[in-house]
Amino acid sequence: MVIARGILLSGSLAALAACHGGPKDEAQKVGVRDDTLVQADEDYFHEMDDGVTLTPDEVKGRNMWLVWSGGNDRFWDTMSKPTLGGFDLLKIVAPPPGSPNARPTRWKVMGLVNEPCFSAPTNPDGYGLWRDTRDPGCAPDPFANEKKYPGIRIGARGTTVPVGSYFGEPSGILGLRLFPNPDFDEKAKARWDAKRYYSDARYYNDPRLVRPYRVGMSCGFCHLGPSPTRPPADPEKPAFANLNSTVGAQYMWVDRLFMWKADPSNYMYQLVSTYRPGAMDTSLVSTDNINNPRTMNAVYLLGDRLGAARKFGRETLAGGSTKNVQFNDILDSGPLTQYFEKPATVWTPHVLKDGADAVGALGALNRVYLNIGLFSEEWLTHFNPVVGGKIISPIEIATARRNSAYWRATEAGTPLTALFFLKAARPDPLANAPGGAGYLKASPQVLQRGAMAFANTCARCHSSKQPDAPAGASLVDAIGPDYLTRFKAWWRWTQSEDFKGRMRALVARPDFRQGNYFSTDARIPVTLLRTNLCSPLATNALRGNIWDNFSSESYKVLPSVGTVAYQDPFTGEARAYRMPAGGRGYTRVPSLVSLWSTAPFLLANTVGTFNGDPSVAGRMAAFDDGIAKMLWPNLRERDAMLPGAWGMVDRTTTRSKLYVPSSFIPDAPGPLDEQARKALRSLENADGDIELGPIPKGMPVNLLASLQPLAESRDPATIARHYRDLVVLLAQLKKGLLTLPRGADDAAVRTHFASLRGPLMALNKCPDFVVNRGHYFGTEEFNRYQRTRDERDFGREPVLSDEDKRALVEYLKTL
């Protein structure tokens, strides 16, 4: 019923597709009809999500979230190449015998969710791969039914390998599905050797190797996890009733996922090791050349979040962003139609950390599928994955509609997922968790004191229920180039007794928590937050970049937040950085719903100790540690090598080398002068590969990980000049390292970096290496660490007493 209009919207485009150029996806190449790729209707996961009762459409929406990969198995099959053999999803789902990544210890080692109804393999399959085996007492997986959901008959499918279902078959890991590889023809089959695949790097790193399976990824892979209120007794052996679709994969060791075989001597391993559990750099593939891991957040209270968007989230669309599907394109009436007004006004949640994907809830969902590889035939033509070094161009929604049957099916299905979220994305109150009442023993007086501390200090950002602001000091409709001026006026008002008194009255109401998303979803300038600069410096959604069609015009014309301080990672000195305009410089407010279950905290889970324990006791131990470090910043970890460190710097743990095979080296952006050609040749080894090292233990990882390969310019001369400066600098660095005396220790190697660290920092896209700083509200640090005029512009803040902080902690447990 709900998707009918969505199918009609895209059906005529399918008919026109053959008239347009550009690559087609595999489904479109073989003429799959739009009404064939429908979402599954079996309520297979009915025990998940606290057993919530769903309508048929909501069931389809959950199934889409958990098993629909939209043809991205093609994309993930290519990812072993730009990661130099480090990333291989097939080895994740079928690890070699004795691997710590295998099913018996998969949760502990990887933080991946073992799918119920499977056991560890006792024998390899017909291809010699050690895949989890389905328990005979379980019914068949309904989504693997190729008669009901016939797969894409292309290449070797139907000859050397089966066709299968377009949902694939279960892998034993929730969120990852197996598909027959259409490139596994007779020639590939004859060359296949499972023993060498597991043991011979020359074999499994060969870019010509064709595996018998491809692995597809659903959105649920990064968003499902153990239920906070129904945790499994053994996280290695969960039942469906112990799982939740929307809590976030907060225990996933993303570094171990991206590097299936740990090799600390590989600089790529050192880079992904900066991804703390539950945090991922979503711009790693469509790289913005900023090492920028961010948490995979829970999805809670979508209805209340949309209500906050109606108040604070007005945006204007323009250009390609007007092509996003809105609820009004699917529905004729009802509450979901109030979030779009023709021709180009949308009221939208801000899902990405930098508040970039501001084009409506459905646009945010659809963009996620592209980011995990849907329509990779087109997507990968717009950038060099992982390595970078190519000018990025936008992927256009209009092109995807014309040339991708998978995209049209996704657009038709995501409204169903939105309906599922509206029903099932509910909070996980600590009071409902086993033994949770034992952590909620604060007296009414303490809770009242904590509520008042919340009202005075936190609620201005962390409550969607707000007093009405006076004229000129409201965030309502505060969009576009005047946003910062409006925000500062609003902030000054929240410091007044007028705001605080009215906010205290709101918090004291018995219905304050009802319908409260505990966030405004508003964009907060980093000059106020003083968190690490890398997240608000992300460039993927800027005008003309890869997600241009998925960011609003309001985002693209945001003003600069001004100058912010960061700490020189070598000397410890405070330095000033002018944040660019055009979208960068802001962070949207996270929700505090079920905060007790989501520690560690901050943008990349950097505040608090990760313990890997999803039990109530484990979550509360992490919460107690993380919230203490948020409210008493002096307890946060400090870097031992940085004088007067403001926090932690991610450093290499051992010597390593940066290695890029010649086949992955991007072409130079235009003609090079003789100096640049000579420098580029000097970076190559005898085989024509780039090799740089040794990189010593203790070096800031981001010194090289966030180097900017291309200038942010469309001017060919500027691009060529920047590229020349980069390769000349790297050539100088390599020359210095080659002159090291035999047996030089790491301190001596770091000395060779010292003379070039200034130029390296000058070409770094994000100079801020301290990862756990900022968000000092209610603490002495807010007033102590203001360094620049723009930071001081937000004034001073009252400091909560220790007793107030402890009461606030008790109050936050109840949200």
Instruction: Say if 797 falls within a structural domain.
Output: yes
- State the pLDDT confidence band at 19, using cuts at 50, 70 and 90: very low
Cβ-defined contacts of 793-802 (< 8 Å, 24+): 793/488, 793/527, 793/562, 794/488, 794/491, 794/527, 794/528, 795/492, 795/495, 797/457, 797/495, 798/456, 798/457, 800/453, 800/457, 800/631
Of 452, 445, 441, 509, nearest to 801 (Cα)?
Answer: 452
pLDDT of residue 344 exceeding 70? yes
58 plus 186 within the same structural domain: yes
pLDDT of residue 179 exceeding 70? yes
* pLDDT value of residue 20: 56
* pLDDT value of residue 460: 97
739 plus 790 within the same structural domain: no
Instruction: Say if 266 falls within a structural domain.
Output: no
153 C-beta neighbours (distance < 10 Å), count? 14
* pLDDT value of residue 402: 97
73 plus 106 within the same structural domain: yes
* pLDDT value of residue 242: 98
State the average pLDDT over residues 626-645.
97
Sign of CA dihedral 184, 189, 191, 192: positive
238 plus 318 within the same structural domain: no
Over residues 315-342, the pLDDT tens digits come to 999 999 999 999 999 888 888 999 999 9
Q: pLDDT: is 285 or 198 the higher one?
A: 198
State the average pLDDT over residues 129-147.
96
Beta-bridge partner residues of 770: 649
* pLDDT value of residue 67: 98
Sign of CA dihedral 395, 587, 368, 516: negative
Instruction: Say if 47 falls within a structural domain.
Output: no
Cβ-contact 540, 286 below 8 angstroms: yes
Instruction: Say if 268 falls within a structural domain.
Output: no
pLDDT of residue 83 exceeding 70? no
Helix axis angle for 444-453 and 497-508, nearest 10°, is 140
> Among residues 720, 739, 762, which one ends one of the domains?
762
* pLDDT value of residue 11: 39
231 plus 374 within the same structural domain: no
* Separation CA 154–CA 365 (nearest Å): 28
Torsion of CA 196, 199, 203, 205, to 10 degrees: 140
644 plus 691 within the same structural domain: no
**What proportion of the chain, given as a percentage, has pLDDT over 70?**
96
pLDDT of residue 269 exceeding 60? yes
> Among residues 227, 261, 295, which one ends one of the domains?
261
- State the pLDDT confidence band at 356, using cuts at 50, 70 and 90: very high
Question: Whole-number mean pLDDT of the chain?
Answer: 92
- State the pLDDT confidence band at 400, using cuts at 50, 70 and 90: very high
State the average pLDDT over residues 79-108.
87
State the average pLDDT over residues 787-793.
92
The per-residue DSSP string of 616-664 comes to HHHHHHHHHHHHHHHHSGGGS---SSSTT-SS-B-B-SS-EEEEE-GGG
State the average pLDDT over residues 685-712.
86
Over residues 659-668, the pLDDT tens digits come to 776 655 667 7
pLDDT of residue 407 exceeding 60? yes
365 plus 454 within the same structural domain: yes
Number of domains in the chain: 3
501 plus 439 within the same structural domain: yes
* Separation CA 83–CA 643 (nearest Å): 35
* pLDDT value of residue 666: 65
Tokens encoding 540: 């993927």
Over residues 183-206, the pLDDT tens digits come to 999 999 999 999 999 999 889 888
* pLDDT value of residue 9: 37
Over residues 240-251, the pLDDT tens digits come to 999 999 999 999
pTM of structure:
0.93
State the average pLDDT over residues 153-167.
97
- State the pLDDT confidence band at 15, using cuts at 50, 70 and 90: very low
Instruction: Say if 43 falls within a structural domain.
Output: no
pLDDT of residue 2 exceeding 50? no
Report the range of poorest mean pLDDT among 294-308, 540-554, 733-747, 782-796: 733-747
- State the pLDDT confidence band at 1, using cuts at 50, 70 and 90: very low
Alpha carbon separation from 122 to 4, 103, 125, 179 (Å, rounded): 46, 12, 10, 22
593 plus 661 within the same structural domain: no
Instruction: Say if 177 falls within a structural domain.
Output: yes
297 plus 439 within the same structural domain: yes
Beta-bridge partner residues of 225: 244
pLDDT of residue 671 exceeding 80? no
Beta-bridge partner residues of 176: 217
* pLDDT value of residue 801: 98
Domain span at 175: 54-261
> Among residues 261, 294, 314, which one ends one of the domains?
261
One-letter identity of residue 719: I
Q: pLDDT: is 529 or 285 the higher one?
A: 529
* pLDDT value of residue 436: 98
* pLDDT value of residue 719: 80
Of 372, 323, 756, 381, nearest to 552 (Cα)?
Answer: 323
Report the range of poorest mean pLDDT among 164-168, 285-289, 686-690: 686-690
Tokens 């608000």 map to which residue? 536
* pLDDT value of residue 16: 43
The per-residue DSSP string of 664-676 comes to GPPPPSS---HHH
553 plus 535 within the same structural domain: yes
* pLDDT value of residue 14: 42
State the average pLDDT over residues 556-566.
97
Over residues 595-629, the pLDDT tens digits come to 999 999 999 999 999 999 999 999 999 999 999 99
Instruction: Say if 269 falls within a structural domain.
Output: no
Cβ-contact 150, 128 below 8 angstroms: no
Instruction: Say if 48 falls within a structural domain.
Output: no
**What proportion of the chain, given as a percentage, has pLDDT over 90?**
75
State the average pLDDT over residues 470-496.
93
3-state helix, strand, coil in the chain (%, to 5): 40, 10, 50
Tokens 């945090």 map to which residue? 279
* pLDDT value of residue 416: 97
pLDDT of residue 797 exceeding 80? yes
435 plus 570 within the same structural domain: yes
Beta-bridge partner residues of 660: 690
